[in-house]
Amino acid sequence: MAKDKAPRRPRAEPPKGFRDHFGAEVTGRRAMLDTIAGVYHRHGFDPLETSAVETVEALGKFLPDVDRPNEGVFAWQEDAEADRPGDWLALRYDLTAPLARVAAQYRNDLPSPYRRYAMGPVWRNEKPGPGRFREFYQCDADTVGAGSVAADAEICAMLADTLEAVGIARGDYIVRVNNRKVLNGVMEVAGVLDPADPERFSAERGIVLRAIDKLDRLGPDGVRALLGEGRKDESGDFTRGAGLGAEQAEVVMGFMDARRETGAATLARLHALAGASAIGLEGVQELETIAELLAAQGYGADRIVIDPSVVRGLGYYTGPVFEAELTFEILDDKGRRRQFGSVAGGGRYDDLVRRFTGQSVPATGVSIGVDRLLAALRERGRAGAASAGPVVVTVMDRERMADYLAMAGELRRAGIRAEVYLGNPKNFGNQLKYADKRGSPVAVIQGADEAARGTVVLKDLILGARIAEGASLEEWKARPAQQAVPRTDLVAAVRAMLEQG
Amino acid sequence: MAKDKAPRRPRAEPPKGFRDHFGAEVTGRRAMLDTIAGVYHRHGFDPLETSAVETVEALGKFLPDVDRPNEGVFAWQEDAEADRPGDWLALRYDLTAPLARVAAQYRNDLPSPYRRYAMGPVWRNEKPGPGRFREFYQCDADTVGAGSVAADAEICAMLADTLEAVGIARGDYIVRVNNRKVLNGVMEVAGVLDPADPERFSAERGIVLRAIDKLDRLGPDGVRALLGEGRKDESGDFTRGAGLGAEQAEVVMGFMDARRETGAATLARLHALAGASAIGLEGVQELETIAELLAAQGYGADRIVIDPSVVRGLGYYTGPVFEAELTFEILDDKGRRRQFGSVAGGGRYDDLVRRFTGQSVPATGVSIGVDRLLAALRERGRAGAASAGPVVVTVMDRERMADYLAMAGELRRAGIRAEVYLGNPKNFGNQLKYADKRGSPVAVIQGADEAARGTVVLKDLILGARIAEGASLEEWKARPAQQAVPRTDLVAAVRAMLEQG
């Protein structure tokens, strides 16, 4: 086979954790992003597209460290210049960090509040695994410069609208809303937050947050163990806990369990739990305002609910946090029924821009996991049909290529997707196999005989595919497998076949 | 201003050579890409989206070298694993190298020929400068597995169709076609290509190619110098030449000058110049076939011409090469009139897949420089209007936020872009300034008085902008600057104002 004795050939594969997207996958995602952009646009959000590459210092969080600067991100160092070492650059790991940079850089030019949306790939330098990729799409909407929780309510309502616009039925999703301030109030009541010394207990609070975030996976007992001394998992690995006493832990557990039948009852319960703390009270009041604004717009508990179990892992949230979950069941890898789960999340982060300017700028936003949402739509059979293959004009006589090109051109001018077979035409069977592989609905054939008679033969490949799929030949009796039509009727006859479907 | 005494703040700017795109820039590019995708799709091309990151070995050309592996590309090394050093990864520098990798990787699954299009950013690690960026969009269409020059003709015709589809008028562009084989024939005749020993003189041929490619910039004398001993430029830098004798150089110069009034005359001239070489003759015949196929489809010399001065710099082309140039004049940075120039180019490259598989796979394709084409459309005033700003519902009474949100919701449900002002509502002037900055057509105002009367006030901001632009107030006499309408007529009244435009 191989004739070269050249140096070792490169492997024909992408790096581990990266992948390629073909055909309908690409157009399906594009269609979904266009729909989402339409909803965001109607809400007054403007598109922003930042570069894929940022300086590591602007990205923050991952600070350069001579040995291992690229923990979690893909990073590299620029060439040194005469007077200074090269900057460390990195691929963006989300769309929020670049927004914070833009909001700081253009703070004098952008409208305030600044509503923007962004969609595109982000990159994570993590160990790839099944279903875990190192490049994936995000689709974010954020409002920068609005301190009012009306901005959070707007994001939640828009998130619900977006899910319905892309094809998730009402009832198949729920947007759950919580507030970090309430959680902080609970922490204060539990004695792991000291308003006079906010840095104190920060390690413990980190563990508490992560523990709460794992409620789904570990159950109440697992979380309680992590709130206390720690937890040994099935593999025997020990995770150190937050070291809370039993009474302290119960305050936190009570918070996660605070959801009641109605939003009002949940809010009353949260008030009872955290109202003794100033920050906790503020949080409860914010949730009340959000609930009122949403109710006034008709977003009821069938779409958006207050749910204290939502905490969102990221450290930077400072107020309301929210999450959209799809509630229908799917079968997991092991054939067990489970809920589809989270497809979007976000919240208020009032301190990201301050890193650059020293001035706090209120901001809130949401990020939709595009790939997960697409998977969900596929699961619901609403991902949009695979795009139809082209009409294939076959080549019976390679000297008459110009005639075949003319046929394809006529079809295209009539809006019909069409192409001429451009492989080696010698084996006609290969041409029909090719048309099959393309999902072509119709093959156009014109040999010397047909040309002499001024006709073309149209072969119905949809029919062929249906028969292969099991439709009985009887059903298709009235439908000819192929027909000769006058050359001048080519476009009309093909269109009729396509409409017959 | 700044209150922190924290560590040095990060600079709020993207890395050098990178930039951000806002609002209408993003939607304008998206609309253009969608139009191009539509043309490609109608021609039977399928979308492909590869990852931004490839292994350096798969990208090729830039081979890993411990000291400086990232010449021209952004590259970094993966973490080592137990048994082997980490791979070198890099951002793709074009969309062709990843296609070659995909064509090799999926060669048993893809239809053959495989027509695909791809659009997205590519990255070059080059010194940034004015108008020179290190991240930019490309938009490619390629046919892999078709050896026939009908595939090249199709790409050229599709390129012409694409330019017209995005808004470049016929007459404002020209697609120029040449063939590397003709050039190789000329090289053979000039004595810098030995068919029996293709590697011989390859350095000289490289210099000849680059010299020809610079004809526009250096003029015939400059090129002649580079074909001979070399050339000293204005700064005094000396570029070594190919070392051709005067007679040899004249053969090459004659080739560049071979274009005649008609395609047929040009082809006859090329035949005279290179027909003595077998490869040259083959090249001329291929150009003849391309010209015939294009003429048969009605693509005349007003759209596509044979032009021997097109060589395309890249080494990997093996047959037909083509370039689309916009022929209208613009003013350059120094106010001089010049032609807009090249916006797309491509050609046949039959050896890229062989790197992976050892088997030669014929391929041809074109790459459109998206940013240049967008700039051209802007130049022609055909870039599509900036998207209209949203209707802004102002906040007169922050206790009545739910009412304002309801107004925006109603407008949106009627398909009208609308938002509530979410900044601090205290200073009403700021709200109107904000609406102005957003390019808002209408501001909606409802204070306590209006609410009591069941009305809203609609302020015509289009009118305000037109007056500011110099339209006389007289012209707008019939048009009220603001009007009170019943709350129930909100949507109808806003729509009427928008339609008035």
For residues A386 and A378, give the distance between their C-alpha atoms in angstroms, rounded to a whole number.
11
| A268 shares a domain with A400 | no
| B290 shares a domain with B334 | yes
Interchain CB distance below 8 Å, A102 and B146: no
Q: For residue A154, give the CATH number of its domain.
A: 3.30.930.10
User: A135 to chain B: which residues are within 8 Å by CB?
Assistant: 51-53
Residue B12 lies in a domain: no
Residue A466 lies in a domain: yes
Provide the β-strand partners of residue A90.
Answer: A54, A75
| A363 shares a domain with A409 | no
Q: Tally C-beta pairs within 8 A across A and B.
A: 291
- pLDDT score of B7: 64
Spell out, as residue ranges, where chain A has pLDDT lower than 70.
1-7, 61-70, 313-315, 382-387, 464-480, 501
CA–centroid distance for B209 within its chain: 24
Spell out, as residue ranges, where chain B has pLDDT lower than 70.
1-7, 61-70, 313-315, 382-387, 464-480, 501
Interchain CB distance below 8 Å, A57 and B101: no
Residue A63 lies in a domain: no
B146's CB contacts (< 8 A; 6+ apart) are A422, A423, B113, B362, B363, B364
- pLDDT score of B158: 96
Q: For residue A404, give the CATH number of its domain.
A: 3.40.50.800
User: B355 to chain A: which residues are within 8 Å by CB?
Assistant: 9-10
Angle of CA points A319, A323, A326, to nearest 5°: 170
Interchain CB distance below 8 Å, A419 and B60: no
User: A12 to chain B: which residues are within 8 Å by CB?
Assistant: 58, 101-102, 104-105, 356-357
Q: What are phi and psi of A177, to 5 degrees?
A: -125, 140
For chain B, give the number of residues: 501
Interchain CB distance below 8 Å, B357 and A2: yes
> Do the Cβ atoms of A175 and A159 come closer than 8 Å?
yes
| B300 shares a domain with B212 | yes
The shortest C-alpha distance from B246 to chain A (Å) reads 37
Distances from the Cα of A402 to the Cα of A417, A424, A443, B152, angstroms: 18, 16, 17, 13
Give the three-state DSSP class for B440: coil
Distances from the Cα of A419 to the Cα of A54, A181, B40, B163, angstroms: 42, 61, 11, 19
| A395 shares a domain with A304 | no
CA–centroid distance for B450 within its chain: 52
Interchain CB distance below 8 Å, B11 and A57: yes
Helix H or strand E encompassing A493: helix A490-500
| A405 shares a domain with A259 | no
Provide the token pair at A126: 């993590």
Interchain CB distance below 8 Å, A417 and B41: yes
B186's CB contacts (< 8 A; 6+ apart) are B251, B252, B255, B273, B274, B277, B280
For residues A321 and B345, give the distance between their C-alpha atoms in angstroms, rounded to a whole number.
49
Please name the residue of chain A whose CA is at the shortest distance from the CA of residue B386.
A46
| A260 shares a domain with A183 | yes
For residues B266 and A501, give the distance between their C-alpha atoms in angstroms, rounded to a whole number.
48
| A285 shares a domain with A141 | yes
Interchain CB distance below 8 Å, A14 and B355: no
Residue A74 lies in a domain: no
Residue among B422, B438, B498 with most chain A CBs within 10 A, to mutate: B422
For residues A390 and A439, give the distance between their C-alpha atoms in angstroms, rounded to a whole number.
7
Domain end (from B91, B115, B142): B91
Provide the token pair at A151: 């901005």
Residue B430 lies in a domain: yes
Please name the residue of chain A whose CA is at the shortest distance from the CA of residue B92.
A14
Residue among A5, A41, A51, A419 with most chain B CBs within 10 A, to mutate: A51
> Do the Cβ atoms of B420 and B401 come closer than 8 Å?
yes
**Mapped to the 3 state alphabet, what secondary structure does B238-294 carry?**
EEECCCCCHHHHHHHHHHHCCCCCCHHHHHHHHHHHHCCCHHHHHHHHHHHHHHHHH
* N-terminal to C-terminal alpha carbon distance within chain A: 43
Interchain CB distance below 8 Å, B78 and A145: no
User: B87 to chain A: which residues are within 8 Å by CB?
Assistant: 15
> Do the Cβ atoms of A22 and B115 come closer than 8 Å?
no
The shortest C-alpha distance from B473 to chain A (Å) reads 28
Interchain CB distance below 8 Å, B297 and A422: no
Provide the token pair at B332: 């350059």
For residues A278 and B370, give the distance between their C-alpha atoms in angstroms, rounded to a whole number.
55
CB atoms within 10 A of CB B3: 9
Q: Scanning the structure block, which residue is given the tokens 């393309």?
A: A438
Distances from the Cα of B238 to the Cα of A245, B206, B226, B235, B253, angstroms: 79, 17, 10, 9, 21
For residues B330 and B481, give the distance between their C-alpha atoms in angstroms, rounded to a whole number.
40
> Do the Cβ atoms of B145 and A416 come closer than 8 Å?
no
For residues A394 and A346, give the distance between their C-alpha atoms in angstroms, rounded to a whole number.
53
Please name the residue of chain B whose CA is at the shortest distance from the CA of residue A60.
B10
CA–centroid distance for A123 within its chain: 13
- ipTM confidence score: 0.88
| B406 shares a domain with B262 | no
Please name the residue of chain B whose CA is at the shortest distance from the CA of residue A154.
B405
CA–centroid distance for B37 within its chain: 13
User: A390 to chain B: which residues are within 8 Å by CB?
Assistant: 43-44
Q: Scanning the structure block, which residue is given the tokens 């104002």?
A: B497
Interchain CB distance below 8 Å, B356 and A18: no
Total domains in the fold of chain B: 3
Residue A303 lies in a domain: yes
Domain end (from A330, A346, A379): A379
Residue B350 lies in a domain: yes
> Do the Cβ atoms of A382 and A368 come closer than 8 Å?
no
For residues B455 and B89, give the distance between their C-alpha atoms in angstroms, rounded to a whole number.
63
| A492 shares a domain with A365 | no
| B129 shares a domain with B79 | no
For residues A341 and A338, give the distance between their C-alpha atoms in angstroms, rounded to a whole number.
8
Longest pairwise C-alpha distance within chain A: 95
Strands of A114-228 (E only): list them: 114-123, 135-144, 173-179
Provide the token pair at B69: 């592996």
Structural domain including A127 reads 23-52+92-379
Domain end (from A379, A403, A436): A379
Interchain CB distance below 8 Å, B52 and A145: no
The shortest C-alpha distance from B291 to chain A (Å) reads 11
pLDDT in tens, B17-75: 999 999 989 999 999 999 999 999 999 999 999 999 999 989 886 433 434 445 789 99
The shortest C-alpha distance from B68 to chain A (Å) reads 10
Residue B178 lies in a domain: yes
| B405 shares a domain with B373 | no
The shortest C-alpha distance from A173 to chain B (Å) reads 21
B480's CB contacts (< 8 A; 6+ apart) are B460
- pLDDT score of A1: 43
